[in-house]
Structure 1
Amino acid sequence: MTLFEILLFLIVAAICGGVARSLAGGTNGGCFVSIAVAFVGSMLGGKLAQISGMPEPLPITIGGTQLPIVWSIIGGAIFVAALRMISGARSS
């Protein structure tokens, strides 16, 4: 992967993480937190897709690496919601 592909991959991940955080009620943090949420969500969502046998409706391939957009957002939202439940955070 080139530097441009890595930056593009991180930008897409940040957008997916931001959407996931918005759906689940948000968390404190910025762009790096959104990127982390997207990567954890991608792993969690990918596992959920594999277990349920559902395909990825909107994958994006950058530099030979595939980012599952929909499952990344779904998994990220589940991850953020679980963190909020564990920490007892209240919506503001």
Structure 2
Amino acid sequence: MTLMGFLLLLLIAAICGGIGQSLAGYDLGGCLVSIIVGFIGAYIGTWIAAKFGLPPIFEISIQGQSFPVVWAVIGSAVFTAIIALLRRAFTGK
């Protein structure tokens, strides 16, 4: 994978992470956190889709690497909601 392909993959992950955080109604941080949330969301979303036997809905292929956009957004929203609930339980805010 080239540098441009990797940067494009990071951009798509950041957008998916940001959308997932917006859907959950909780902001975990800035751009770097959105990238991390996007990748974690892609992993969680594809795991959820595999458990329920759901097909990939919208995948973007960048130089042979596919990124599941819809499942990344859904997984990011689930991950953000779980983190928000845990943070609220431990800090009381």
- What TM-score, normalized by structure 1, do the two folds share? 0.93
Runs of 4+ with >2 A deviation: none
Letter in 2 for 1:33: V
Percent same amino acid among aligned pairs?
Answer: 44
Shift of 1:28: 3.6
Shift of 1:32: 0.5
- What TM-score, normalized by structure 2, do the two folds share? 0.92
Counterparts of 1:16 and 1:60 in 2: how far apart (Å)?
Answer: 12
Match of 2:37 in 1: 37
Structure with the bigger percentage of helix: 2
Report matched runs for 1:8-27 at 5 Å: 8-27=8-27
Counterparts of 2:52 and 2:35 in 1: how far apart (Å)?
Answer: 25
Shift of 1:29: 1.3
Corresponding pairs, count: 90
Segment of structure 1 superposing worse, 51-60 or 25-34: 25-34
Counterparts of 2:44 and 2:79 in 1: how far apart (Å)?
Answer: 8
Cα distance change on mapping 1:83 and 1:10 into 2, 3 Å:
same
Measured against aligned partners, the alpha-carbon deviations of 1:50-85 in whole angstroms (never above 9, x if no partner) come to 000001111000011110000000001000000000
Structure 2: gaps spanning 5 or more residues: none
